[in-house]
Amino acid sequence: MSTSTFNAEEADNFEDIEKQFAVKAVQQAETFWNLLSKVKGSKLRLTKYDDFIYEELIKEFPEFSDPKYVAVISEDDLKNHKSKEKWRNFVKIFEEKIKDYNFGTLLRSDCKTEYDQHGTIFVLRIQFYCIEICRNRYELNDWISEKK
């Protein structure tokens, strides 16, 4: 066995593994949507750490206290150079608390739309939790269950 370190830049692209991650992300999105279809988002807890996640998010990213900011998230809001660095440091808080905190997850960019090909962003699971916990607290997801 080699003692060399893993270099992601030189690793093979394992297409089957990527497909499995994509399938898992879609399944999670479907599960979340089905849950929101049955329960008002404002009554829903996504994790046992929702309060902690929300408090830490607002401390580090005060803009998330504004429902208008949370309603529509652009990919650039999360992935520009400055934001990436800030999020990279922020997510470390959750390493030991949130299972799979850094797994890829699908997020609706606009809380007023369903998941679709054009309005979905691939984010870290903790980013998904942060944004959707805010949307639920601000009652931005309640329309989904009321629609049914």
Residues of the chain with pLDDT under 50: 1-4, 6
The pLDDT value recorded for residue 9 is: 56
Is the domain defined by 15-147 classed in CATH 3.40.640.10?
no
Tokens linked to 80: 């520009």
Q: Report how far residue 115's alpha carbon sits from residue 78's, in angstroms, rounded to the nearest whole number.
A: 18
* pTM: predicted TM-score of the whole model, two decimal places: 0.86
The pLDDT value recorded for residue 24 is: 85
Q: Report how far residue 90's alpha carbon sits from residue 127's, in angstroms, rounded to the nearest whole number.
A: 10
Q: Report how far residue 53's alpha carbon sits from residue 127's, in angstroms, rounded to the nearest whole number.
A: 10
Tell me the pLDDT tens digit for each residue of 113-138: 999 989 999 999 999 999 999 999 99
Burial pattern 100-122, b for ≥16 Cβ within 10 A else e, equals ebebbbbbbbebeeeeeeeebbb
Cα 64 to Cα 19, 56, 93, 120, distances in angstroms: 32, 11, 18, 19
CA 48 remoteness from chain centre: 16
Domain ranges of the chain: 15-147
